[in-house]
Chain A
Amino acid sequence: MYVNFSNNESNTFDAIVVGTGISGGWAAKELTEKGLKTLVLERGRMVKHGEYPTAMLDDWDMDHKGKVLPEIIEEHYPKQSRTGYTIKEASKHWFVKDSEHPYLEDKRFDWMRGYHVGGRSIMWGRQCYRLSDLDFEANLKEGIGIDWPIRYKDLKPWYDYVENYVGISGKKEGLSHFPDGPFIKPMELNVAEKHVIGKISELYDDRIMTNARIANLSEAKERGACQYRNRCIRGCPFGGYFSSVSATIPDADRTGNMTLRPNSIVHSVIYDAASGKASGVRVIDTETMEEHVFNAKIIFLTASCLGSTQILMNSTSSTFSEGLGNTNGYLGKNLMDHHFLISASGKVEGYEDLYFKGRRPGGTYIPRFRNIDQKSKMKDFVRGYGFQGGGGRGAEWQLNVKEMTYGRQGKEDLFKPGGPWTYGMMAFGECLPYEENRVYQDPNEKDKWGIPLLRFDAEWKENELNMRKDMREQAVEMLERAGLKDVKLNDRMSYPGLGIHEMGTARMGRDPKTSILNKHNQIHDVPNVFVTDGAAMTSSGCQNPSITYMALTARACDYAVKELNRQNL
């Protein structure tokens, strides 16, 4: 069923999909459902839905209450641990060991990733916000980077299509720059969140706060409903959220058209100068170290922004000495990510007789409100940012621990719900495309499979730094005006990569001179190779991008199969 390891496997397929993360899962599902015999390659290990070893564990079931020893972090996860929350016993098996998968930094870049079937779709943040024409038109209007070759109307049907399948809990708001979708019912908010939403709506007419739009099921679909455990990062045995392993890969498998091959690193795409197309891929089996060649009519590179970029860079030929499709030198440039880690939180007064039940994934969202019209224009930065937030209430012991008391007196009260309701929110901001923010192959160092290591050279610039000032001010101002007490600002520097929204290194565009991909995510110069992950992004927006990759992938698959049938590929 899933894996075809036989030695006499036929090496020729209709399609090859590289990667099984959120984009690769979609490519696998769409192409196999359209009848293509599809080889799906994953560089990491096999994972099937349900194989989530820590999903049912409590902290006390794990060594060191779930903390990973410092010497293990130092040896294997010095970079992957930079998030602060991922390298725990509960989730570290979803992240690569830096000791096995190194990369190099001219400037600090936090490249967070996991190599296994499902990729980062297992531990993604699950927030889903569409881009709008505010985003698609921005580069053109402001003369920044290059124009997107598509507009919202091109992607809208595909957002609808993927969202219907994924299941997005959310609330319609009717804002043109924050497009609605076919949402299932939003997840319930608590009294603190409702309080803040009410105040924002009362005090501001230029912005709203709404329910998070999140790929967790508020009601059962083909998969089970969210059980409100908030342990998504471990994988959900209930299928309560969308991932490749819970949804797209099993559906692709059901068609009978998929051959899934884990432990298969794509070394490069093979270019055939005679036909002007790619003929297949060169694969290294990580278990045997043997090299295999697989052929197909079309190839989808969906190995993540940097994964796909690395493969393209390594796919050199006499026609493409600088990497497949890279005749203009733009491959690896315009690397983007969202900047964040600016947050504010405070106490919500009242509601002391109320509490909550359940641990809900996701909370509230404030869509972008800067530079959306003439009135909201900012003088020292372009674009904008959104806020993800949430509220809650703790227990007496969490207050008591700060007091200089001890002993029997009041001990039984420690177990009670207590303290004030609190609410906090964090900003996620757009990053502009800059040619000089780039990733490139190190000229000397290679990994153990002989593939040159990636080296990063990217930084936030004036626009991002000016935006961060406004994020800080607005975070505090909104909560203070909403009447929260003891509002505290938490401002940590965020380095590129840590948003885990890498984008832009093989961007889409209208002109083959300044872009790698066309409006169908097709490499301009190699029409049977499609790149539909974050690499394709022409600008970053400030929205969590996965839903856009899904829509781009489904759209490109539809086009690719039509072109195949027209015998154009």
Chain B
Amino acid sequence: MNRRTAIKRTSVIMGAALSAGTIAGLMAGCKAEKKLNWVPQFFTEDESKTLSSLTETILPKTDTPGAIEVGVPEFIDDLIGNFWKEKKQMNFKSQLEKVNSMSQESFGKPYYDLSEEDQNTIMDELVAMAKNESGKSFFMELKELTFSGYFSSEIIGEQVLNYDPVPGVYIGDIPVKEVGNAWST
């Protein structure tokens, strides 16, 4: 049994005694190893580092996991690499490049080497640009991809959101406060 499975089983036994954040924190330790093994299938290493940092800026690690530890960059690499049309793929890549040139211009470093504060400055610029765009902006694209990968991840789905694989019952008017977090699937 690997560490992940062990924790998954333990957390089932301990149930609600552990807060979602605590469990996710424990789980995050396991995922860090996986991240080292992650080989991008579509993006270059440099693009992957930029993409990873961008997703982490959108959903940073707090009491609950950040985007990187739950595998959002891998998810986006798979989605864009395998499911998008070439024109859209190339456009996304050029947007990543643009983020790095903005970072270089302002701070002399690529996005992934910036401090969180400086990354936020660049992200604020992306938001400002998005507000002036009529079509789908890079920021909104990035945010949707990040949320979609994050909330469909195993760690968030099983340990942070309210995981209820076999509800056994339907109740149509349960008080919100009795539920805790929203359901995961």
Q: Which of A19-27, A59-67, A371-379 contacts B (4 or more CB under 8 A)?
A: A59-67
**Residue among B59, B64, B165 making CB contact with A229, cutoff 8 Å:** B165
B131 to chain A, nearest CB (A): 6
Given contacts A64-B78, A355-B179, A416-B182, contact A407 B58 (CB under 8 A): yes
**Residue among A61, A353, A401, A412 making CB contact with B175, cutoff 8 Å:** A353
Q: What residue in chain A is nearest B58 (Cβ atoms)?
A: A406
Question: With A and B bound together, what is the CA distance between A56 and B165 in angstroms?
Answer: 8
Q: 0/1 per residue, A378-422, Cβ < 8 Å to B?
A: 000000000000000011110011001011100110011110000
Given contacts A60-B152, A190-B173, A416-B181, contact A397 B147 (CB under 8 A): yes
Question: With A and B bound together, what is the CA distance between A356 and B183 in angstroms?
Answer: 9
Whether a CB of chain B sits under 8 angstroms from the CB of A359 is yes
Contact A411 B60 (CB under 8 A): yes
Whether a CB of chain A sits under 8 angstroms from the CB of B15 is no
Contact A412 B166 (CB under 8 A): no
Contacts of A396 in B (CB 8 A): 182
Q: 0/1 per residue, A40-76, Cβ < 8 Å to B?
A: 0000000000000000101111001101011000000
CB under 8 Å from chain A, chain B span 167-185? 167-177, 179, 181-183, 185
Contact B179 A229 (CB under 8 A): no
**Residue among B62, B154, B175, B183 making CB contact with A408, cutoff 8 Å:** B62
Given contacts A190-B173, A229-B166, contact A407 B182 (CB under 8 A): no
Question: With A and B bound together, what is the CA distance between A355 and B139 in angstroms?
Answer: 31
A60 to chain B, nearest CB (A): 4
Given contacts A355-B179, A404-B131, contact A190 B172 (CB under 8 A): yes
Q: 0/1 per residue, B3-33, Cβ < 8 Å to A?
A: 0000000000000000010000000000000
Contact A354 B176 (CB under 8 A): yes
Contact A188 B171 (CB under 8 A): yes
B21 to chain A, nearest CB (A): 8
Q: What residue in chain B is nearest A66 (Cβ atoms)?
A: B152
Question: With A and B bound together, what is the CA distance between A416 and B165 in angstroms?
Answer: 18
Q: Which of B45-53, B94-102, B106-114, B156-164 contacts A (4 or more CB under 8 A)?
A: B156-164
Contacts of B173 in A (CB 8 A): 190-191, 351, 354, 356
B residues with a Cβ closer than 8 A to A are 20, 57-60, 62-64, 75, 78-79, 82-83, 120, 123, 127, 130-131, 139-140, 143-144, 147, 151-154, 157-158, 160-161, 164-177, 179, 181-183, 185
Contacts of B130 in A (CB 8 A): 404
Contacts of A411 in B (CB 8 A): 59-60, 62, 64
Q: What residue in chain A is nearest B60 (Cβ atoms)?
A: A408
**Residue among A190, A227, A352, A412 making CB contact with B63, cutoff 8 Å:** A412
Contact A59 B185 (CB under 8 A): yes
A residues with a Cβ closer than 8 A to B are 56, 58-61, 64-65, 67, 69-70, 187-191, 193-194, 227-229, 351-360, 394-397, 400-401, 404, 406-408, 411-412, 415-418
Contact A407 B120 (CB under 8 A): yes
Contacts of A190 in B (CB 8 A): 172-173
Contacts of B165 in A (CB 8 A): 56, 58, 229
Given A64-B78, A191-B173, 18 further pairs, Cβ under 8 A: A56-B165, A59-B157, A61-B154, A64-B79, A190-B172, A355-B174, A355-B176, A357-B174, A359-B167, A360-B170, A395-B181, A404-B140, A406-B59, A406-B127, A406-B143, A415-B160, A415-B182, A417-B182
The 7 closest A-B pairs by CB, nearest first: A190-B172, A395-B182, A358-B170, A358-B167, A60-B154, A360-B170, A415-B181
Contacts of A352 in B (CB 8 A): 176
Contact A227 B168 (CB under 8 A): yes
Contacts of A229 in B (CB 8 A): 165-167
Q: What residue in chain B is nearest A394 (Cβ atoms)?
A: B182
**Residue among B83, B123, B158 making CB contact with A69, cutoff 8 Å:** B83
Contact B172 A188 (CB under 8 A): yes
Q: What residue in chain B is nearest A415 (Cβ atoms)?
A: B181
Q: What residue in chain A is nearest B63 (Cβ atoms)?
A: A412
